[in-house]
Amino acid sequence: MDLLTTLVDKGLRRELPTREEALAVLATSDDDLLDVVAAAGKVRRHWFGRRVKLNYLVNLKSGLCPEDCSYCSQRLGSTTGILKYTWLKPDEASKAAAAGLAGGAKRVCLVASGRGPTDRDVDRVAGTIKAIKDQNEGVEVCACLGLLSDGQAERLREAGADAYNHNLNTSEATYGEITTTHTYEDRVDTVQKAHAAGLSACSGLIAGMGETDEDLIDVVFSLRALDPDSVPVNFLIPVEGTPLAKEWNLTPQRCLRILAMVRFVCPDVEVRIAGGREVHLRTMQPLALNLANSIFLGDYLTTEGQAGQADLDMIADAGFEIEGTGQVTLPEHRATVGGGCGSHESAGSTGGGCGSHEGGGGVCGTAAPATPTLSEPRTDLVTVRRRGAGTDLAPNA
């Protein structure tokens, strides 16, 4: 396909595709899907080889959020029955992180629900960062605490944080339909604050919330303009008790097209398969490793992921290797500029979701596919987390 040849060439040159080209990727047929994966895989291997970076989430404070994000099980008024607890102590958080690091994780993502941290909250997180780094040489720490006030990003950087996650989630045009208690501009401002403070910026999206192909293109192009080091791609986990519980709009093939499109638009950044991969990619997860170079190990913020050992086996069986602490994630031209640390769940609240949750006409001879036949909702694959942080049970790592 001329389209794919063009996109590979642009990806190797770090050149932005046109909107029409990006839309055409989402419009490819199932017959062309393996060709799309192979093409995007060439771009992924050029910049990241066959390495897979493992990240591990620690939910520092669960539930109790005043925001109304429709996708989030921690939202105001949620009836999902998730774990609810206030701040973990530094030693508790460090113990939770140790399980993921023992399983091969290179980065720990510290997430807390809420609109944004108070200065006292920043002090708490600073203590947790110190506890984790004192016990684990070379570990990367990403904070995800919600909307930042002036000076807070600098304080987190001084405390040893390597990165900050805050997702855009969806397009600016549709953002008000998903959340009303803060704005799209608030999120952009926080990503820019993290950048300005010298933190490695991490910002991504949630697919499957009823958005159009144009919405997906809008948010991914906006992310490219913000220039984060890491772009988590979340697939909505429709948790019972949230307004989007009935939104089962994704197929494994659709997820692969979205990941390929993100790789073509953001060729040299850490693309992470975040929340929802087990629910929506299912047995196609190994194929997605040809598109993304990063995943979360084990469980998410409020829902369970597949067994940590299953993640490791999947990576090995697919012919990939775990990225070690001594390896730099990003290509040299990025690592020397932005800090070199590329951030999870099915979605968090304003504060949650460290990299976290969850069309156009064809060009170059591609035709828009028929509406995909969706399988029945796989509610059996959505399990509320009852282990790990905030419990007395061992975490999944």
Residue 341 annotated in active site: no
Catalytic residue among 65, 255, 266, 354: 65
Distance CA 354, CA 94 (A): 17
C-alpha 334 chain-centroid distance: 19
Cα 197 to Cα 191, 339, 343, distances in angstroms: 10, 11, 17
CA gap 351, 124 in Å, rounded: 15
Rounded Cα distance, 345 and 274, in Å: 6
Length of the chain: 397
Among 72, 255, 266, 354, which one carries the catalytic annotation? 72
Active-site position among 44, 142, 266, 334: 142
The answer to whether 255 is a known catalytic residue is no
Task: Single out the catalytic residue among 44, 75, 107, 109.
Answer: 109
Q: Tell me whether residue 72 is one of the annotated catalytic residues.
A: yes
- Candidate list 272, 277, 334, 385, residue with the active-site label: 272
272 in active site: yes
Considering the candidates 44, 69, 157, 334, report the single residue annotated as catalytic.
69
Whether 202 sits among the annotated catalytic residues: the reply is yes
Are the beta carbons of 219 and 170 closer than 8 angstroms? yes
Rounded CA gap, 242 and 247, in Å? 10
- The crossing angle, in degrees rounded to 10, of helices 33-48 and 2-12 is 10
> Rounded CA gap, 100 and 388, in Å?
11
> Annotated catalytic residue: which of 107, 124, 187, 202?
202
Structure tokens at 225: 């303009």
Residues designated as active site: 65, 69, 72, 109, 142, 202, 272
